[in-house]
Every structure is written in structure tokens, then in C-alpha cells.
């Protein structure tokens, strides 16, 4: 058991078309009916009831205190059924620091957890494990000014929502759980993503209305995922570097696994066999381009050839004949489709078996967006392409179930590419992150996926199910 701090900031997935999960098993949870009680949480826990050393009377400390109180309640109840032992409260307590208004006299001997100076937590939050040399070990500390900027923004930038400080507390509390039961494996990325998973399990408990002091609305879960974009490792970081925390997809996937499947899944699925999408750039050229192919190559070669190869493999497995659909771009206004309304950016027209995408309003902006790129474009076009495949299988193409299946199938396509099952395409660092950004930031627009009736959180979770479980998760009879 390590006593070193676990700090918040600082290869390819072997996908299968039909096989068992490779990241973990998952059961996608659609959360339309999940919400905290209509009356909201029952007030705030008071500083006297739950002391935080160095705390001020501000919003971040209030949110953090409420979260930590509910985290203690949650883990007190979950620890025995999950780990077979009783939960012990953190012996070293909790520390709040504002580096801009620092008063060392607020802290015992001028120190926070593990004997570190308050400055050690600047722009950070971390759990410090127990150890005989650290009288203040087994403690959580955080920079409240930093968390306030994450949650509520700064001049010229928006924040990621009021739940972000609670999410950070849940992640650090996940490390406190590890401090009691042991780390899954002494590798940073496994340790950090397991803590994300534990945070997801607690957040689901809050979303179900079980928390006394916390609540979260379904739409706020989108902000939680957006927050992970800021907390991911820089694209091109190796998965097994000393302080690796995980890619955007890796961290979001771990959080959603905990949200869907609970703390037992977090306990079981983060050992040395867990594979990650995070990887290092292999050449200076890839580093310079961010791993992106030119736009023209993406749409003229990778879209038809890569998607066509994947679906040929899938239909071979199903014992069916596959005919690649035509794939056509348009600019601003889609061609007529048998009199149907085509005022959308992505569509499949059954009348002429053609997949169409709007270059002017979607794929070109998506390619050049800060969090976009070639794989964001591929993920987007993979959705109407999946509808074309469903049509050939005699399945619906124009209802909510079909769209949900198509999003999942875009994940199954990604699983095959990640697992090197296709010869046309290979994954570059950050590609799976681009899929998450597309689904979260663009796919909820009715002009992109009309009538899908899913939040960004749900779309990412459905996509993740395809990455994890392949075609078998996507409701096409596989």
C-alpha cells in the first residue's frame, strides 16, 4: 500500500466484433427517469458537523463539504458488501487552500496532509495516504480557487458546472478507498481510472436521489463529462507513463462504467489486463498533425473504404451479403429523399440507399474544431452508414431505437479499428477522444441527430457500449 499522494492532475484496445467485453462488461443506463428528489437535497451540512481545515465561507467549500459528507455515507454503506470489511473514516481529515489568500497558521504546524506545505496543492487536489511518518496522512486536500475556476469559469471562459467540485471530491475519495483495500495494480493509469469509476458509482447514487446533501440533474451529467476533457492527459501521452491519468475516452469510460455497474465493477475491472485507448505519438509527423489525416483523404478514402471494410466483416459474421451504400457530401441543403424532410446534417436515404453528410455545416467544421479531427468526422458519418447496414438487414432506420443502435454501431466500428481488425484504418492518439467530443458537443443538436432524445451523457454511454461489447451490444441480432 502506497503512502504517496494520488493527484488529480498532472496501447490500443483489443476490440472484437462479436466477442466479450475488452474494457469491461457494461450495461448502458438510460437516465431519463433518474433524478434527485423533487424537493432537492436537505440543506447543507454545517462546518461544525463536518469540519474542513482552512475552509472559507464560499461556494466551493460548501459544495465540497456536502459532497464529502455524502461520500462518507455512501462508502460506509457500500464498503462491506463491496470489499468485505468495514469502512474507516479518513484519519487525516480534509484541507481547503486558497493560494491567493494563504494563511499557514490555519493549518496544523503549517502543513496539510502528509506533512506537505499548503502550496503543494496549488491548481490541484489530491489524496495523501496513511503512513507512520505522516501524522496528517489519510487526508484529502484541494485548491478551492482552482476548483472554483473549473466549476464557474474565469474571465473569458466558461466553467464546467456546479457539480465539478463534488466530482473532484468523489475522485479523491476513490483514492482513499484504494488506500484501504490496495491499488488494483501499481500503474498510474489503472489507479486513476479506477478512482474515476468509484466517482461514477457515487454519482449514480446521487442521481438516484439517495444523497442527503447533493443532487444532480440529467443534463448536468453532460457537464461532468466535459470536465473530464480538461482533466485528461495531453494527447500523445503514453499510457504507462509515471503520472498517466488516461485519455478523455478512458476517463469518461471508467466514470460511466461505475455509473452503470456500481462499485463492484470498479473493484474487478482495473487490473493489469485492462487496456486503454491512450497512446504516444509514434513519429514527429503524427505529433505535428495531431495524428490527423488530411480532410480529403478522410472523406474520400477512409470513410467509404474503412466503413465498408468493417461492415463487410460484420455481414460475413452474420452470414449476409453486404452492398456498400453510396456516400455523398452536400453543402447546406441535402438532396431530396423521396419527398422526405432532409433538413439535417447526417442522413441515410432508403429510397436510393445513399448516406449523405453536410460538409459546410458539419464535417468541415468538425474536422477543424479544437477537439475535432479526422476521427470525429468518421464517427459522425459512421452513424448514417450504420442505418444503411440496418436497412440491408431489414431493420428499422427511422425511429429512436434505430438511431440509438446506429450510435452504438459507430462504437463497434471503433472497437474493430482499435483492435486492428480492419486493414484500411489504424487509430492515432486522441481519436477516441474526438468521438466523445462529437457526441457530447454536436450530436445532441437536432440538426445532426433529429429525434434521438438522448442527452450527450447517454449518447457517449451508448457509443461506449459498442466499443466495449462490439456488435452484440447494438441490437442488430448479432
The string of DSSP letters for 409-438 reads HHHHHHHHHHTT--SS----TTHHHHHHHH
Q: What is the rounded CA–CA span in Å between residue 248 and residue 224?
A: 12
Annotate 127-139 with b (16+ C-beta within 10 A) or e (fewer). Answer: bbbbbeebebbbb
Q: What is the pLDDT at residue 240?
A: 76
pLDDT for 11 beyond 50: no
Whether residue 4 is predicted with pLDDT greater than 50 in this model: the reply is no
Residue 261 scores a pLDDT above 70: yes
Which residues are CB-neighbours of 352 under 8 A, at least 6 positions away? 326, 337, 338
Q: H-type helices in 345-426, by residue range?
A: 364-368, 374-392, 400-418
Q: What is the pLDDT of residue 288?
A: 58
Q: What is the pLDDT of residue 371?
A: 81
Weakest-pLDDT range from 106-110, 171-175, 198-202, 245-249: 245-249
Rounded average pLDDT over 275-299:
75
Per-residue pLDDT, 137? 87
Identify the band that residue 428 occupies on the pLDDT scale cut at 50, 70 and 90: confident
Would you put residue 175 in left (φ > 0), alpha (ψ -120 to 50) or beta?
alpha
Q: CA-CA distance, 333 to 277, in Å (whole number)?
A: 36
Provide mean pLDDT across the span 284-301: 79
Write down the pLDDT at residue 292. Answer: 81
Cα distance from N-terminal residue to C-terminal residue, the chain = 43
Alpha carbon 278 to its chain centroid, in Å, reads 13
pLDDT at 119 over 60: yes
User: Whole-angstrom Cα distance, residue 256 to residue 267?
Assistant: 14
Grade residue 286 by pLDDT with cuts at 50, 70 and 90.
low
Q: Where does the pLDDT of residue 90 fall: very low under 50, low under 70, confident under 90, or very high at 90 and above?
A: very high
Mean pLDDT over 105-115 rounds to 92
Identify the CA nearest to 139 among candidates 113, 160, 117.
113
Q: How far apart are CA 466 and CA 17, in angstroms?
A: 9
Burial 78-94 (b: 16+ CB within 10 A, else e): bbeebbeeebeebebbb
- Quote the Cα angle for 399-400-405, to 5°: 100
Burial (CB count <10 Å: 0-12, 13-18, 19+), residue 318: middle
Q: How confident is the model at residue 284 (pLDDT cuts 50, 70, 90)?
A: low
**pLDDT at 216 > cutoff 90:** yes
Residue 300 has pLDDT above 90, yes or no: yes
Mean pLDDT within 379-395: 97
State yes or no: pLDDT of 5 exceeds 60.
no
The pLDDT score that the predictor gives to residue 173 is 98
Q: What is the pLDDT of residues 25-84, one digit of tens each?
A: 434 444 343 444 434 567 899 999 999 999 998 999 999 999 999 999 999 999 999 999
For the chain, the structural domain boundaries read 6-10+31-268, 284-473
* 287 pLDDT above the threshold of 50: yes
- Residue 285 near residue 293, CB atoms below 8 Å: no
Percent of the residues in the chain that have a pLDDT greater than 70, as a whole number: 85
- The neighbouring-strand residues paired with 7 are 126
| Stretch among 24-33, 139-148, 173-182, 436-445 having the lowest mean pLDDT | 24-33
User: What does the pLDDT read at residue 38?
Assistant: 39
pLDDT tens sequence across 195-210: 999 999 999 999 999 9
Q: Which residue has the cell 436521489?
A: 209
- Model confidence band, residue 243 (pLDDT cutoffs 50, 70, 90): confident
Burial tier of 339 (Cβ tally within 10 Å: 0-12, 13-18, 19+): exposed
**H-type alpha helices, 269-342:** 284-289, 295-297, 307-318
Average pLDDT over residues 131-145: 82
Query: What is the per-residue pLDDT for 230?
Result: 73
Q: Dump pLDDT digits (tens) for 321-342.
A: 999 999 999 998 888 887 776 7
Cα distance between residue 255 and residue 265, in whole Å: 11
Question: Got the DSSP string for 59-72?
Answer: HHHHHHHHHHHHHH
Residue 227 has pLDDT above 90, yes or no: no
Q: What average pLDDT is seen over the chain? A: 86
The strand order across the sheet containing 93-97 reads 6-7, 125-128, 139-143, 93-97
Amino acid at each position: 500500500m502506497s503512502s504517496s499522494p494520488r493527484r488529480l492532475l498532472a496501447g490500443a484496445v483489443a476490440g472484437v466484433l462479436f466477442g466479450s467485453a475488452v474494457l469491461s462488461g457494461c450495461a448502458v443506463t438510460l437516465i431519463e427517469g433518474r433524478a434527485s428528489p423533487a424537493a432537492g437535497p436537505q440543506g447543507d451540512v454545517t462546518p461544525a458537523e463536518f469540519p474542513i481545515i482552512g475552509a472559507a465561507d464560499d461556494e466551493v467549500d460548501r459544495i465540497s463539504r456536502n459532497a464529502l459528507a455524502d461520500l462518507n455515507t455512501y462508502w460506509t454503506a457500500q464498503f462491506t458488501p463491496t470489499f468485505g470489511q468495514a469502512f474507516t473514516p479518513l484519519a487525516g481529515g480534509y484541507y481547503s487552500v486558497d493560494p491567493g489568500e494563504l494563511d499557514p497558521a490555519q493549518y496544523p504546524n503549517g502543513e496539510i496532509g502528509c506533512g506537505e506545505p499548503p502550496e503543494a496543492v496549488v491548481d490541484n487536489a489530491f489524496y495523501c495516504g496513511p503512513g507512520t511518518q505522516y501524522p496528517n496522512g489519510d487526508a484529502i486536500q484541494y485548491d478551492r480557487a482552482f476548483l472554483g475556476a473549473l466549476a464557474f469559469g474565469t474571465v473569458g471562459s466558461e466553467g464546467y458546472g456546479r457539480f465539478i467540485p463534488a466530482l473532484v471530491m468523489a475522485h479523491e475519495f476513490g483514492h482513499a478507498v484504494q488506500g484501504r483495500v490496495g491499488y488494483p495494480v501499481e500503474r498510474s493509469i489503472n489507479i486513476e481510472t479506477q478512482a474515476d469509476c468509484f466517482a461514477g458509482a457515487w454519482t449514480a447514487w446521487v442521481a438516484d436521489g439517495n444523497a442527503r446533501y447533493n443532487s444532480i440533474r440529467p443534463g448536468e451529467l453532460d457537464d461532468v463529462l466535459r470536465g473530464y476533457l480538461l482533466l485528461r492527459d495531453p494527447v500523445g501521452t503514453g499510457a504507462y507513463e509515471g503520472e498517466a491519468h488516461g485519455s478523455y475516452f478512458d476517463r469518461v469510460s471508467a466514470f460511466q462504467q461505475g455509473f452503470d455497474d456500481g462499485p463492484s465493477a470498479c473493484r474487478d475491472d482495473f487490473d493489469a489486463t485492462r487496456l486503454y485507448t491512450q497512446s504516444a505519438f509514434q513519429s514527429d509527423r503524427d505529433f505535428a498533425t495531431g495524428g490527423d489525416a488530411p480532410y480529403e483523404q478522410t472523406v474520400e478514402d477512409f470513410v467509404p473504404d474503412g466503413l465498408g471494410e468493417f461492415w463487410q466483416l460484420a455481414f460475413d459474421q452474420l452470414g449476409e451479403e453486404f452492398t456498400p451504400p453510396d456516400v455523398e457530401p452536400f453543402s447546406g441543403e441535402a438532396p431530396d429523399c423521396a419527398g422526405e424532410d432532409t433538413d439535417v446534417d447526417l442522413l441515410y436515404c432508403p429510397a436510393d440507399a445513399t448516406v449523405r453528410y453536410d460538409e459546410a455545416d458539419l464535417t468541415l467544421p468538425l474536422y477543424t474544431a479544437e477537439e475535432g479531427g479526422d476521427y470525429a468526422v468518421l464517427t459522425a458519418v459512421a452513424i448514417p452508414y450504420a442505418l444503411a447496414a440496418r436497412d440491408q438487414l431489414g431493420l428499422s432506420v427511422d425511429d429512436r431505437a434505430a438511431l440509438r443502435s446506429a450510435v452504438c454501431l459507430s462504437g463497434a466500428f471503433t472497437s474493430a479499428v482499435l483492435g486492428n481488425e480492419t486493414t484500411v484504418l489504424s487509430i492515432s492518439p486522441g481519436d477516441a477522444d474526438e468521438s466523445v467530443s462529437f457526441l457530447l458537443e454536436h450530436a445532441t443538436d437536432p440538426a445532426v441527430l433529429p429525434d434521438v432524445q438522448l442527452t450527450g451523457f447517454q449518447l457517449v454511454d451508448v457509443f461506449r457500449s459498442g466499443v466495449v461489447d462490439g456488435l452484440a451490444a447494438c441490437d442488430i441480432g448479432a
